[in-house]
Amino acid sequence: MPSVAGREVEAAKEGRRVPALRDYGWQAVPFHYVYILRSASHPEQAYVGLTGDLKARLAKHNEGGSPHTSKFRPWEIETAVAFTSRDKAAAFETYLKSGSGHEFRRRHF
Q: What is the pLDDT of residues 43-83, one digit of tens each?
A: 999 999 999 999 999 999 999 999 999 999 999 999 999 99
Rounded-to-integer distance, Cα 72 and Cα 30, Å: 30
Residue-range domain boundaries for the chain:
1-28, 31-108
Cβ atoms 35, 57 nearer than 8 A:
yes
Model pTM? 0.74
CATH number for region 31-108: 3.40.1440
The pLDDT value recorded for residue 9 is: 58
Report the 10 Å Cβ neighbour count for 89.
20
Q: What is the pLDDT of residues 34-49, one digit of tens each?
A: 999 999 999 999 999 9
